[in-house]
Amino acid sequence: MRKLLVIGIGPGDPRQITIEAIDAMKSVDAFFVLDKAPERGAAVKQSLVGLRKEICDRYLDTDYRFVEVPDPPRDRTPDDYAAEVRRWHDARADLIEQALATELSDDGVGGILVWGDPALYDSTLRIIDTIVARGHLELEHSVIPGITSFASLTAAHKILLNRIGEPIHITTGRRLADTPKRAAANQVVMLDADCTFLQTASPDDHIWWGAYLGTPDQLLIAGTVGEVGEQIRETRNAARERHGWIMDIYLLRSWPPPR
């Protein structure tokens, strides 16, 4: 039976790879790569693939094989966001299932290297569940956790995620405005291309922002939203223009603290 290892590799620093992940990588016959960025150009895709290859070069003593799977197109401004994401995930499942069938022997071991941790705002496990449920391909899969981007963010800024006894809310830029007031004390926000905090946060709220965490291109900004909010937006836009892609995250902390 084919085996597939979904391996968390952290936010980008090759040193933030767990021993469990390294052991798993050593057993892989072929790594399957499917990124969201081909519409931004071949150089962008190769940059993201290159980061994964840097990790493999660092820890694997033998030759390894990468299978690049073309990412299906996606409507970025759909009328029904959830329906469009489901359609896109189904299309991704089709392509990955085909690649596993053609590029992996019946008893081969495949690997997918996932940024951060596979359980945090990543579609890979949902797609693999779809493939398994279809029953067309006999597939056994395992998951190896990775260091999360918010762990790298807080370490880089040398801060805690929360004040004493307060909750932590993890969300996306798209859903930031929907955060209940009682959960807004400490918000970890991902996938915020529009810097939504500029519309939702108080100028006195504190923000710790980071991009390309753990890489030579790492960017860090911290301060109140009123002081650094526009700086974050300008820095983010310039970095995305320069590199063609960006992976960023921030911690937003309310002030004053909720009672």
Whole-angstrom Cα Rg for the chain: 19
What is the number of H-type helices and E-type strands within the chain? 7, 10
CA-to-CA distance for 157 and 210, rounded, in angstroms? 9
User: Could you give the percent of the chain with pLDDT greater than 90?
Assistant: 80
Tell me how far the alpha carbon of residue 72 is from its chain's centroid: 18
Helix boundaries (H) for 66-123: 81-103
pLDDT number for residue 41: 52
Which pTM does this prediction carry?
0.90
Mean pLDDT of the chain: 92
Domains of the chain: 2-144 (3.40.1010.10), 149-253 (3.30.950.10)
Q: What is the mean pLDDT of residues 202-216?
A: 96
Give the pLDDT confidence of 49-79 residue by residue, as tens digits.
Answer: 888 999 999 999 988 999 999 888 888 788 8
Alpha helices in 146-196 (DSSP H): 149-157
**Letter for the amino acid at 33?**
V
Tell me phi and psi for residue 113, to 5 degrees.
Answer: -90, 115
The band of 81, judged by pLDDT with boundaries at 50, 70 and 90, is: confident
Please report the sign of the dihedral spanned by the C-alpha atoms of residue 250, residue 45, residue 55, residue 138.
positive
Per residue in 157-176, pLDDT (tens digit) is 999 999 999 999 999 999 99
